[in-house]
Chains A and B, each alone.
Chain A
Amino acid sequence: QQQVKQSPQSLIVQKGGISIINCAYENTAFDYFPWYQQFPGKGPALLIAIRPDVSEKKEGRFTISFNKSAKQFSLHIMDSQPGDSATYFCAASTGFQKLVFGTGTRLLVSP
């Protein structure tokens, strides 16, 4: 029940395209859903996060869509750029503290 399932494992998108990464969770006590971006040799960096009281949050080219009834949330990267090539992790927690991470999606944006 603590797992967060993430898909796809890897993704190749052309420059300017939309990248979509999906996550699903079971624990209905989760109330914080962040997405992290990780470049090789670096630690994860918070990209965007959402609480379950809203269905969508947008920050620049990054949007989280949240479906509470389905217990699913997704990250959309609009106008994907080569600099977005990284590994993306979804996570979930009760409060901010005990984050449970997905297995990651390796995104490659081709020029």
Chain B
Amino acid sequence: EAGVVQSPRYKIIEKKQPVAFWCNPISGHNTLYWYLQNLGQGPELLIRYENEEAVDDSQLPKDRFSAERLKGVDSTLKIQPAELGDSAVYLCASSSAGAEQFFGPGTRLTVL
């Protein structure tokens, strides 16, 4: 079974530039999560999707972050404009209903 796929794995941008991350969940998993992991910290949930619907986006900084999950499969997380403090690892995870979460390898973002 293929795992959660994320791209790119690494991204370096200058502040104020836009950036987007892509996630392909495990086939058949209807729930998709985006997490932020700062260096030396545990992951923190940004947004959770059930199929196409964002059911929990309370921790997503909506002034600069946006996400979408068209057709209830792949998802994209965008930051515009990026700030220095956005440097972190962005993790995507997926699960089937009422089951454990499986994480992707993450995208390491560096904002200069």
A contact residues vs B (CB 8 Å cutoff): 6, 34, 36, 41-46, 49, 89, 91, 95-99, 101-104
Contact = CB atoms under 8 A, between A and B. Distances in A.
Interface residues of B, number: 22
Given A91-B42, A97-B31, A103-B41, A43 B93 contact: yes
Contacts of B95: 96-97
A46 B42 contact: no
B44 A96 contact: no
B106 to A, nearest CB: 5
Interface stretch (B12-20, B69-77, B80-88, B97-105): B97-105
Contacts of A99: 43, 45, 101
Contact of B98 (A91, A96, A103): A96
A46 B44 contact: no
Q: Which 5 pairs from chain A and chain B are nearest by CB? A: A101-B42, A43-B103, A89-B42, A44-B103, A43-B105
